[in-house]
Amino acid sequence: MQVAFVAGTYQPDRCGVAHYTACLRHQLQAIAVESIVLTTTELLNSTADPTVKPVVQGWRLRDLPALVRSIHMSNADLLHIQHAAGTYGFERAIFLLPLLLRLSGWRKPIVTTVHEYGWWEWQPKGIPLQLIESLKQWGQKRGWWDREDGFLLTGSEAIVTTNAEAETVLLDRLPALQPRLHRISIAANVEVAPIDRSTARRSIRQKCGWPEEAEVVAFFGFLHPVKGLEILLNAFAEIAPQQPQARLLLIGGVESLALRGVEAAAYWDKLAAIVSDLDLGDRVHLTGYLPAAEASHCLSGSDIGVLPFHHGVTLKSGSLLALLAHHLPTIATVSTTPDPNLAANVVRQIPTRDRSALAAALLELLTNRALRSQLAQQGAAFVEPFGWPSIGQQHRDIYLRCLNNSAQLQRDRAIVETSDLLKL
């Protein structure tokens, strides 16, 4: 089986969706599903992978004919679109792709994964808001398009969501699509790299110049303004005098598709300045970007995980799943409408943007080893089903179902055409 992926960008070290796609491809290859990636020419001089094909300049309307031609030329058995608005630069033209493919004669299955849904809509300039709202509602009620993703979902034989929130909004808008809908949760964004835990503990403390008895609290993920890092640093400074053995490890880089160049450097400098101003230079360490195995070793050598995201943590977070997979008792912020699938006994839940609550939770876990052990065990058990082998197999099952349905449709069409000819 050959799958053609359409990806808004394919830089796995700088984009969570691209990293997800790369991991999915790797797992699919292990179960005899080959794939290619059709993406932008920004990778033209930076990849030697023949399965990654830069075919479009960008994601505007003028780029779609080249994309349609490339899909036809791929000879793939089906197309799988990986969609998150930001990875396409918030361009809307991609919403027309299923329609254009059908008009150009493509009869093979289309699968779309929506990594996020329900928060961003098409608002074209120059058209009265009342008129565009009427068009959105009119087409959505008839199941022709939806108000957020145009023809992307209604034109797909199968739709994959990675989280409950997206699924709920989608079904509320387009209940007729339920038979096509499949929820497949994401996996940890780094696998657990084999290492003896005592070796990992000793290694990270030596690298950071910390004593052997140090208790390491670890944040893992891109260091971005929405991750609550300023609050975390101030909360840590609040409890530091009471816990002289505590250390804070920020694992991850700043540079990403969401925060680039000068802005990324400025934010790194801002975090470093906060560490200096709080006089935490010998107790806080920022690793910068690390390869997956090194990041995993850092997590294995830590004692507590913390994710103080401004908008709350859900099961869309590969960082959360990574902390749990590394057996770390984890503190995580939850929004006013928390993820119903993330139980309170899996993570130590606290409100968003609440420094006092974060400080109290840090102090609680640093002083309560029994609670740490309990959370670590429950978190590891909870995250066990969230693995790439399961994700890969679920995708393969969807592909086979779509291909079988497509073949049956072709057979039915041929029978009807033959019957019509006999009548003549």
Q: What is the DSSP string of 7-62?
A: ES---TTT-HHHHHHHHHHHHHHHTT-EEEEEEEGGGTTT---TTEEEEES-SSGG
CA dist., res. 143 & res. 308, Å (int): 39
Entry pTM:
0.77
pLDDT of residue 412: 53
CA dist., res. 354 & res. 331, Å (int): 13
| Positions of the chain with pLDDT under 70 | 43-47, 122, 124, 408-424
CA dist., res. 401 & res. 405, Å (int): 6
Q: Where are the beta strands (DSSP E) in 68-173?
A: 78-83, 110-114, 158-161
pLDDT of residue 342: 80
CB environment 165-198: b (16+ within 10 A), e (fewer): bbbebbeebbeebeebbbebbbbbbbbbbeeeee
CA dist., res. 170 & res. 157, Å (int): 15
How many CB atoms neighbour CB 288 within 10 A? 12
- Bridge partners, 114 (sequence order): 83, 161
pLDDT of residue 424: 53
The domains of the chain, with CATH numbers, are: 2-187+388-423 (3.40.50.2000), 197-383 (3.40.50.2000)
3-state secondary structure 224-250: CHHHCHHHHHHHHHHHHHHCCCEEEEE
How many CB atoms neighbour CB 75 within 10 A? 10
Closest CA to 17 of 77, 80, 86: 86
pLDDT of residue 291: 92
Under the phi-then-psi rule, with left for phi > 0, alpha for psi from -120 to 50, and beta for the rest, what region is 405? Answer: alpha
pLDDT of residue 384: 84
